[in-house]
Amino acid sequence: MTHILIVGAGIAGVPAAYEIKNRLGPNDRVTLVSDRAYFNFVPSNPWLAMGWRDRADIAFPIQPYLEARGIHFVAQGLARVHAASNQVQLADASRLHYDYLVLAVGAAPAYEEVEGLDPAQGYVHAVVHIEQAIEASQAYKKFVKNPGPIVIGAAAGCAILGPVYETAFLVDADLRRRGLRERVTITLVTPEPYVAHFGIGAETETQRLLENALADRGIVSMCNMKTTKITPGHIHLTQYDLGGKEMAQTTLPFAFGIYAPAYRGIAALSRTPGLTDERGMVTVDEYLRNPAYPNVYAAGICVAQPSFAPTPVPVGPPESVYSIRNQVDTVTRNILAAINNEAPASALPQRAKWLSDLGETGAAHLAEPQVPLRNINRIKQGRWVHLAKVEFEQYFINKIKLKPGEQLLSVASHVATTLQRLQSEKEAGGTEAARTGTVARRLDIPVERDANYELRALAKTLNVNEKAIAAMLLNAALKDAKRYLDEVALADMERARRNLILAELPENQPGVEFHGGGT
């Protein structure tokens, strides 16, 4: 019997527990430990800060969903990892033994690195934790009654800069909805050497798009800025040139501010020699195993990541839900490989990919590999990104909440729904021409003669192009078929689908030289 212990109930820890449990044998055990008894979809915290979400929309108790899957939950904080003896010590001094350990503990905000940065002091706010986002929302409601300058910033060394830009755009959109935008200045302060560096050096279309988006909305950006101190109503800054030489010191007044900190590893991990780097982040090899303790794996922002290149003001490497999901996949596959004495799979190359909400529109970022030499580096913009981010939030939360046995077939299948819609459109005067554009890609599928006749007869009956209705029915049948798959098969199918899409990108075709930055 194998016991897998996972520490952390966040975006990395809970999916890891689900996937590992699904793939283990019936006698194997999975235990999840966390000092928080709830799951929080952290990427939605900026929406919560703006009052666009309630706590119940993005956070809920996690124990019922874990136990429904046969995963044991221990509501305790981590005190220390005794990796040499395959044990962890919890906050109540109890110990748990493991065969394999997955660290998905996140990271601790390094507020102490900037005087006045800690939101507990009340000068600026944060959206790192859900409680902080709620406090920011309450403060923002008071702010709009007596508005003034707003500063959205990031401290030196900050590694998750996407939400900083996102928060600035959300504030802009919310103030416009309230008719207050002309009364408020918004300044974005970042340690990046230029807009949209993001810790990966994306000085291409990404930079130009975000510079234009900021300018269009009247948001002032201040780059190469080291935040040295925050006092009531003032941000104290030191600006550097691209060579790293100090240029000037300035003080920025503000009435409302949200700041992103740099991160360090949690104290419990740094107490184990060989487990972490100098900032307390878990060191891993390309298989996401700790080199000193090969049965200890890590996923999420607790993983030590290499920086892209030195910058005048330190900027950390990025992290996203997309990359964390890939890490979880790698950890799961490699633990199973270790159990079965098989070769592990590499987590490289890593891809940097995330969605940014710009209010009513959005931007989708992609860089592969995350660190150069990079063969993909692009950004796409449009309202579809805003909608996709909303849908992804619901998809991720629903996937966490789904209990075994709940993916049963409904009475109305997708095929039935498709046929009902076509009949209704025919009765309303729909024409064949309205359906001829449905087929996006040719797929040659041999069918029996009778099936061919029936398909053509059905197309004539409904006054629909036969190729179009074949594509529509195949699409509906695939959706119905997926309902019969268990979670392991669904996860494998999604992974295979992503790999097929990536393999068919133009820039990945043999003999094609791709120049990044295209939209």
420, 413 contact by CB (below 8 A): no
Structure tokens at 450: 């009778």
Count the residues in the chain. 519
Q: Is 333 helix (H, G, I), strand (E, B) or coil?
A: helix
CB atoms within 10 A of CB 193: 19
Structure tokens at 397: 């939360």
Ordered per-residue pLDDT tens for the chain, 519 residues: 899 999 999 999 999 999 999 999 889 999 999 999 999 999 999 999 999 999 999 999 999 999 999 999 999 999 999 999 999 999 999 999 999 999 999 999 999 999 999 999 999 999 999 999 999 999 999 999 999 999 999 999 998 898 899 899 999 999 999 999 999 999 999 999 999 888 877 556 667 878 888 999 999 999 999 999 999 999 999 999 989 999 999 999 999 999 999 999 999 999 999 999 999 999 999 999 999 999 999 999 999 988 767 899 999 887 788 789 889 999 999 999 999 999 998 876 554 444 444 455 544 444 443 333 333 334 444 444 555 667 778 888 988 998 765 544 444 566 767 776 777 777 666 544 444 444 466 778 888 888 888 889 888 888 888 888 888 888 888 877 877 676 677 778 877 877 776 666 554 555 544 333 333
Output DSSP code: residue 51.
Answer: T
What gap in Å lies between CA 19 and CA 328, rounded to an integer? 8
Structure tokens at 175: 């103030």
3-107+264-348 and 111-263+354-399 have identical folds: yes
255, 149 contact by CB (below 8 A): yes
Output DSSP code: residue 163.
Answer: H
Q: Is 380 exposed, middle or buried (0-12, 13-18, 19+ CB in 10 A)?
A: middle
What gap in Å lies between CA 226 and CA 156, rounded to an integer? 6
Q: Which residues contact 33 (CB under 8 A, 6 or more apart)?
A: 5, 6, 7, 8, 73, 74, 76, 78, 88, 90, 96
Domain 111-263+354-399 has CATH 3.50.50.100: yes
Q: What is the CA radius of gyration of the chain?
A: 25
Q: State how beta strands 234-240 and 225-231 pair.
A: antiparallel
Give phi and psi for 289, each to the nearest 5. Answer: -105, 145
Output DSSP code: residue 289.
Answer: B
Q: Give whole-number Cα distances, 352 to 52, 110, 366, 456, in Å.
A: 27, 23, 6, 46
First vs last C-alpha separation in the chain: 51
CATH number for the domain whose boundaries are 3-107+264-348: 3.50.50.100
Q: Give whole-number Cα distances, 380 to 46, 200, 205, 248, in Å.
A: 21, 17, 9, 35
343, 331 contact by CB (below 8 A): no
CB atoms within 10 A of CB 421: 12
44, 58 contact by CB (below 8 A): yes
> In terms of Cα–Cα distance, which of 335, 341, 340, 348 is closest to 297?
335
Structure tokens at 314: 């330190």
What gap in Å lies between CA 351 and CA 312, rounded to an integer? 25
For the chain, the domains span: 3-107+264-348, 111-263+354-399, 414-482
493, 459 contact by CB (below 8 A): no
- Rounded (10°) angle between helices 13-23 and 321-339: 30
Q: Which residues contact 211 (CB under 8 A, 6 or more apart)?
A: 195, 196, 221
Q: Is 394 exposed, middle or buried (0-12, 13-18, 19+ CB in 10 A)?
A: exposed
Full strand arrangement of the beta sheet holding 3-7: 72-74, 29-33, 3-7, 100-103, 296-298
> In terms of Cα–Cα distance, which of 49, 30, 251 is closest to 134?
49
> In terms of Cα–Cα distance, which of 203, 242, 224, 195 is closest to 313?
224
